[in-house]
Structure 1
Amino acid sequence: MEEIYVNVEPQKHLAPRPSTDETGSRSSQRRFYGALLFLGLLSGFLLAFLISLGVHYRDSSHRLAAELSAVKANLTERFQVSDGQLSLMTAERDQLNASLIAMTGERNRLQSLSKQKKTCPTGWRKFSCSCYLLSSLSGSWERGREDCRVKGADLLVIESDEEQTFVLGLTQQPAWIGLNDKEVEGTWKWVDGTSLIKTYWKKDQPDNGGGSPLWGEEDCAHIRNEENNLWNDLSCTASLRWICEKLL
């Protein structure tokens, strides 16, 4: 038999290649360690930042506390000064009030003494702080007022029940008083400019003549000689006596 020789080349032994699973595992480990390193560094930076922030906050708190303490001390000092000034001003005010009260009392006393010493001119009658005169002449309301002014007086202004009662004893005849509504119909005013408050009108008066042409416009007031000398309105041109009043 023939021997058959076959040239067989020796096969090379190749190192086994790592499997895909082993490669992926090593890559994951590297990423994991990298992440741990990053987190470690980040934690370090964060810790350093927090420490720095805490130190800054502590220093700021101390500085702010010192500033607040200084402001408080300053305000306390100012308050004490203001409180002292207020106490001084209060004492001065009380002293001024006491002086004013004393001066007012002295003024009233002197005025009272002065009024007691003052007397009315001859023919005039005194009541309270005024002198009164019933005219001997008759005339219009305007003529009566002019006559009173010449005498340093004016037509009578009645301000109280006592004065009204006093006037009852002055005359039993109609007489002009210082009351009129010439400016505005129905708005009665005294000759001193004051508005009418207390009234003593006769019943159904004033009526401005009741619309009768016989009486015309009735813009001036007078005391009647009947029914307790109650008031009535009458034409200012009517002829009556008048009562003058002069302050002492």
Structure 2
Amino acid sequence: MDLEAIYQNIDRRDTESTTGAQTQSHGRDEEKDLQHRGSRYLVLISVGLGLICVLLLVFIILLNITITAERDMTNGYKNTVEELSQTINSLQDKHTDLTQKNLELETKVKDLTAEKNQLQRDFDSLNKKGPVCFFMSTELSWSDSRQYCKDRGADLVIINTEEKQRFISSLVSERVWIGLSDSENEGVMKWVDNSTLKQGFWLKDQPNDSGNQDCIELNYEREKPGWSPLNSWNDFSCSVKKKGICEK
């Protein structure tokens, strides 16, 4: 083999060796480029997933805030409705109470008006029978009260009609003697003019003659059970001192 052939052979080997080395180097570069691109893709995917997670977290937070706000608003509306309902009920109760009180006052006004009219009729009826004068004695026993009246040209009052009973009841504001007793004959009530009692205006369970009670008083205590202008007489001990009604 000649030298030229040897050199050609060497040159070919060198060329192949260089080409092989270049090929291997190019392959490694491509592999590195692929790895670099893969890393970038992975970073992008991670960043994208991170953003999605952040957005989901923000959405959840906003949703929770919205739900909480709506719940608070709903509770606020509910409380307001309950308060308004309680206020309305309270106003209705007050209106009912006021209506009831108004009806009671109207009834009292009617009763007082009727009583006033009755007293006026009684007064007019008494005046038709002639001028009459009534006055009070000082606090004395029944007999001393009668004497007080006599000393002034009068006597203890005689009450023989409903009109007169109503009228005398309207004049007094304390327990007073009237001109009636059974001191002469127990159980036989007589007026100071010696006439026998025909119509009495007794309190419930009276007269009871408890403890030698022979003289009659007119009791003004309106809170007493069964009291009324036509039910106010009571027998009492004649020695007790109280005012008497004189009639002249």
Superposed pair shares fold, TM > 0.5: no
TM-score, length of structure 1 as denominator length: 0.44
Larger-gyration structure (1/2): 2
TM-score, length of structure 2 as denominator length: 0.44
Please state which structure has a larger fraction of its residues in helix: 2
